[in-house]
Structure 1
Amino acid sequence: MKRILFTGGGTAGHVIVNTALIPSFREKGYEIDYIGSYEGIEKELIGHMDDVTYHGISTGKLRRYMSKENVKDPFKVAKGILQSLSIIKKRKPGVIFSKGGFVSVPVVIAAKLARVPVVIHESDFTPGLANKLSFPFANRILTTFPETTEHVPEKKAEYIGAVIRDELFQGEEEKGKEMTGFKDGKPVLLVMGGSSGSENINEAIRHNLEALTERYNIVHLTGKGHKDDSYSRKGYVQFEYVTDELKDLLKLADLVVSRAGANAIFEFVALKKPMLLIPLSRKVSRGDQILNAESFERQGFAHSLDEEQITDETFLQAVNKLEEDKEKLKENMNRYEVQKSKDRVIELLQHYEKRKG
């Protein structure tokens, strides 16, 4: 029996590519396993998928800053390596695909110990810490941006572009209207601050509700625990987080305000959605989203607004400017061809799986 194991988690961005690939391997008759954390978002997104066996392991956060938890984390990672090694030896996958995030590190190390080939996918412009730690144990490292190959061991690197979920192209506008109740002809603004939400983006939307709803219908994905029913207004609907319904909301949307995670913004380009990107600040991140946003703005795919520059006024101006420029942005995005990167990933994974077998 052919078997493949996926890993990745911590944020939705470290899971989405896996959800794009899993159905293809299910159709090809593979037994599918997934290693994630005990209670991370990966369990929520993967745990309900048909014919996928989910395994939870211990994982540390691998912080770059000083913290008391740093003393405990190496022991958590060590425990995760032993747990992963046990799972790998028991399930005997032919190949492992890692999307990154802290949970992937013990899995990739265990795979090397078990002599199972590993393919890593790096979405961002520059590699994250978890993937950097995993690179020495990988057989192949795939990148979304061509520039990223400069930060990856040359003999292992391959630029393949973005892996886009097929289901995103199957959205139905009518279902989006049913979810939101929007019936007039106002343009629809979809606002999403990531799976955990963004306080700054949420506040900017809510402080400008009166002005924004005069011009737009707004779908606000607030993030877990950030929905606030005290903000009730015609033309404004809130959801904490959506999964299967996202394709319908994207089909309905004319404009998008979003963080600048690589997976999401490449999906917006593929769907030709003009976007205002508000990348995570360097104060709370390593700056990868800033580089992503700068790259997309240079290519004429998006506008961007630094988080430190957000005020009620600057946010409203930026949204209205996006509306004014949407046709030019869509014209630029029409020149971007969605590469057959998904097929290339599948081809590589099958190659390593056969070589292992």
Structure 2
Amino acid sequence: MSKFKIIMTGGGSAGHVTPNLALVPKLKELGYEVQYIGTRDGIENGIIKKENIKYHSISSGKLRRYFDLKNFTDPFKVIKGIFKAISIMKKERPNIVFSKGGFVSVPVVMAAHFCHIPVIAHESDITPGLANKIAAPYCDKVCVTFPESIKNIKGNKAILTGTPIRQELFKGNKAKGLDICGFKGEKAVLLVIGGSLGSKVINDKVRGILKEIVKTYDVIHICGKNNIDNSLTNLRGYKQFDYVSDELPHLMQAADIVISRAGANVIFELLALKKPNILIPLSKKSSRGDQILNAASFEKAGYSVVIQEEDLKEDSLRNKIDELYKNKKTYIDNMNSSAAKNSVDNIIELINKYKK
């Protein structure tokens, strides 16, 4: 009997790849054959190949909401990508396609639709990204993370599943995390995460008050590639990383409180791990405003303190850190009462319905 075959897609940022990876162990455990379609140069290529998953490369243009001369040429790359994806579908004959969004997903979803292959997509944010907006008419179902998202998906296709969380995050060890940083566990630990590329504004504000903070907290700072400050390397109570992978579960477990951007994947990881947090969403100047909506939802639920990027000041940040730590039990209690669950099983159950 042939295996049930699934082709996954998604790329452009780690946030469009890691939720797919959260599903893979369970899919393989159930005997699924998993393959992946991405771009040759995208972040998804390196991440997926490390997982020993068969990888197909296609061409795809970037989708932009602003004027750029490439907007005139990239549609041709998308068309080229559709034809390449169709040829992959005809050769591999998957039973279903699962899309996490990002610009590479558009030609893949359209190709699957043209080949009469069911498509399930997942949208992490409250409002759908441009790629998922374009792809949604070609999807059978769109999994959403927030209840507020259902009204934003047309055609009665939305289904509330939550966002899949990587099981490795639950296997972290606090003592190992402290050891990685050289901390003795005598102070509370503040973890600062600025997203996969880092955040200059968060880095600068945290470092501006760092010598004050380390009197009370040990600080783990994931600051983004090329953002290490060598002048702070020997500061006691401060450990900086440009990027972490295998160490992340241990560092998350070591943290008592967290400062983070408000991407849907990371905030639901913080919720799952019950980590009180300060969210500093990307401003509307540099995004479509999805992180602002995500943060507002978590603030309303009592999971997070929110500081808008435009309002971020060193003094107020210092006060908010102390306030969060002082009231951390309240935030943990609110997170413990959350109905949100790891959505891996919800999504796998939906995929199973398309077995033929």
Structure 1 length normalisation: TM-score? 0.95
Q: What CA RMSD, in Å, does the superposition of the two structures yield over aligned residues?
A: 1.4
Deviates more, 1:162-171 or 1:204-213: 162-171
Q: Residues of 2 paired with 1:184 and 1:228: CA distance?
A: 24
Aligned partner letter, 1:167? E
Distance between the aligned counterparts of 1:174 and 1:43, measured in 2?
A: 33
> Corresponding residue for 2:213?
212
Aligned counterpart, 2:96: 95
For residue 342 of structure 1, what is the amino acid of its counterpart? V
1:1-357 to 2 correspondences below 5 Å: 1-50=3-52, 52-232=53-233, 233-339=235-341, 341-352=343-354, 354-355=355-356
CA shift, 1:44, in A, is: 2.8
Q: Aligned-pair distance for 1:338? A: 4.1
**Aligned 8 A contact 2:60 2:103 in 1:** yes
**Aligned-pair distance for 1:349?**
1.0
Runs (4+) off by over 6 Å = none
Counterpart-to-counterpart distance in 2, 1:225 and 1:112: 41
Q: CA deviation at 1:229?
A: 2.0
Q: Please give the per-residue CA displacement for 1:98-155, whole angstroms capped at 9, x wherever unaligned.
A: 0111111111011111111100111111111110000010011111111111011242
3-state SS of paired residue (2:78): helix
Deviation at 1:175, TM superposition (A): 1.9
Cα distance in 1 for partners of 2:158, 2:173 equals 37
**CA shift for structure 1 position 26:** 1.3
Aligned equivalents of 2:241, 2:46: Cα separation in 1:
16
Name which of structure 1's ranges 293-302 and 234-243 shifts more when overlaid on structure 2. 234-243
AA partner of residue 348 (structure 2): I
Deviations 1:299-350 (A, max 9, x none): 1000011111122222222222221221111111110144363212111112
Q: 1:211 to 1:133 in 2, by over 3 A?
A: same
2:321 is aligned with what amino acid? Answer: V
Describe the shift of the 1:223–1:56 C-alpha distance in structure 2 as closer, same or farther (beyond 3 A).
farther
Alpha-carbon distance, 1:57 to partner? 2.0
DSSP 3-state at the match of 1:214: coil
Paired residues, what number? 353
> Percent identity of the aligned residues?
49
State the one-letter code of the partner of 1:12: A
- Once the two structures are superposed, residues 179-210 of structure 1 have per-residue CA deviations (whole angstroms, 9 ceiling, x without a partner) of 11111411111111111111101111111110
2:141 & 2:255 partners in 1: Cα distance?
Answer: 37
